[in-house]
Structure 1
Amino acid sequence: MNAAHIGELLAILGAGTAAGAVNAAVGSGTLISFPVLLATGLPPVTATVSNALGLIPGSISGAVGYRAELRGQRRRILKWSAGALLGGLTGAALLLALPASAFERIVPVLVGLALLLVALQPVISRRLNVRRARKERPARPDGGPLLLVGLTLASVYGGYFSAAQGIIYVALMGMLLDDGLQRLTAVKNVLVAVVNSVAALFFLVVADFDWTAVALLAVGSAVGGHLGATVGRRLRPAVLRTFIVVVGTVAIVQLVVRF
């Protein structure tokens, strides 16, 4: 084993750790690990599949790290997880069935819109609350059918290419729910874990992947997910929101350059 090969292995391990941490706290960690896999010579589809498989432990450890914020949300999480499962499976199938150009043009637009919604969430929430108060209509704890459909469609995107998937989830929930950003982040981690897991099971059967890359990403992302959850839970909502916008902006730049 030469030094260059060892360097590639360490780079994948480090990318998995960083991606797991960013995914747990914000989302879009794929934009760290995916380019590293491409740089090691993996074909794009193989890199995408390997990345999805390898980041599952990070999604799970991130969700576990936010377990305190998940209390009292079981009913709506089960409902949204059903949509995430269906959407993730659909997106995974689309990855293998459609040309890459089908989604490439709209991905940066989706991420940009999600960032705008995250940044404006306090203003949007206040106005929605005022409108509900005038109509004497309380906010639905599950966001209603509109949020379920939105999260399911976001899961289709996540199963296809998971970059900034978590940011889109947080944006949709923040707009339609009267709830704290940390609790929404906790739910986001669960939904990402569901999508990644169902997509991974699909890929295991029908797609090519690199076991070495998957194993290194899995180890790194498991550690990173725990670290990201530990740090993310301590951030004030305003700081966390700013962090999301900054990371998401970098994600858009990378997506535009790549596509």
Structure 2
Amino acid sequence: MTPSEVVAVLAAGVAAGGINAVVGSGSLITFPTLLALGYPPIVANVSNNVGLVAGGVTGVLGYRDELKGQRRRLMRLGVASVFGSLVGALLLLQLPARAFQVIVPVLIALACVLVVVQPRLNAWLSERQGEPHPDGGPWLWLGVFGAGVYGGYFGAAQGVVLIGLLGTFLEEQLQRVNAAKNMLSLLVNSTAAVVFVLIAPVDWWAALLVALGSTLGGFLGARVGRRLPARVLRGVIVCVGIVAIVKLVYG
């Protein structure tokens, strides 16, 4: 990597770590950055996943107060996240590389739509506050499992999906829902990262730079990310998502 490329990946990692802590779409920053630097899609995806684990840890630590009282629930839902992530990671490695290039542009487009509609989703969830959903039941478990499959295969905007699921099925304030989302996303990314480290083509320089950047970003996102203009964050995410789609489709 050239010095400018190192700075670009570090900066993308900081942005992704912060966005993951607050919104949950950080891969739409780092993945296109790695693609733009010439990394093959599979290598970019697995290296990005491994690198973002560190940012997930700092994001969880930043929301530790909101996690209090959720241990039993998260242990139950965490099983769904881990198993789902295993399935998604194995699908990524077993399906042909061409399948990834066809599927991922669709997933990125879906992720961009989810990011755009998130304010209305949050407003809808706020209106539903107070409806009793003690532990979410089997439907929430299955939904979290599906989000884990998605996250293990390609994790952009899995956090938005998880916020929607948890906010719908649980009687919790949105900040506590976001804290639970951070924990489950970390479990998904960590599980997939273990699989990728063992059997996938990880570029360790790229993963290290993303890890360093996302560690700082996760800390900053948990501390001050909620003060940043949400429209600006969403606009940046959508723009880089479009760049990634063009890069994947047209090379």
Larger radius of gyration: 1
Aligned to 1:135: none
Shift of 1:179: 1.4
2: CA distance between counterparts of 1:111 and 1:159?
18
Runs (4+) off by over 6 Å: 242-245
User: How far off its partner does 1:220 sit?
Assistant: 0.8
Output aligned runs, 1:152-191, within 5 Å: 152-191=145-184
- Give the superposed CA RMSD: 2.6
Which residue of structure 2 aligns with residue 73 of structure 1?
A: 70
Aligned length: 244
Question: C-alpha distance in 2, partners of 1:147/1:115?
Answer: 23
| 1:44 matched residue in structure 2 | 41
SS at match of 1:162: coil
Alignment of 1:17-166 (within 5 A): 17-98=14-95, 99-100=99-100, 101-102=102-103, 104-105=105-106, 108-109=109-110, 112=113, 116=117, 119-123=120-124, 126=127, 139-166=132-159
Shift of 1:103: 5.3
Cα deviations across residues 83-115 of structure 1 (Å, max 9, x unaligned)? 000011111111112221245435534663676
Provide the rounded CA distance (Å) in 1 between the counterparts of 2:138 and 2:233.
26
1:125 and 1:176 in contact (8 A); partners too: no
The equivalent of 1:231 in structure 2 is 224
Q: Aligned in 2, Cα 1:118/1:251: closer, same or farther, shift over 3 Å?
A: farther
2:164 and 2:233 map into 1 onto residues whose CA distance is 10
Given the two structures, how large is their TM-score scaled by the length of structure 2? 0.86
Once the two structures are TM-superposed, the CA of residue 141 in structure 1 deviates from its matched residue by: 2.2
Please say which of residues 115-124 and 90-99 is displaced more in the overlay. 115-124
1:149–1:223 Cα change, 3 Å: same
Q: Is the 8 A contact 1:115 1:167 kept in 2?
A: no
- Write the distance in 1 (CA, Å) between the matches of 2:13 and 2:171: 33
Whole-angstrom CA distance in 2 between matches of 1:211 and 1:248: 25
Unaligned runs of 5+ residues in structure 2 are: none
Tell me, in whole angstroms, the C-alpha distance in 2 between the residues paired with 1:156 and 1:71: 27
TM-score by length of 1: 0.83
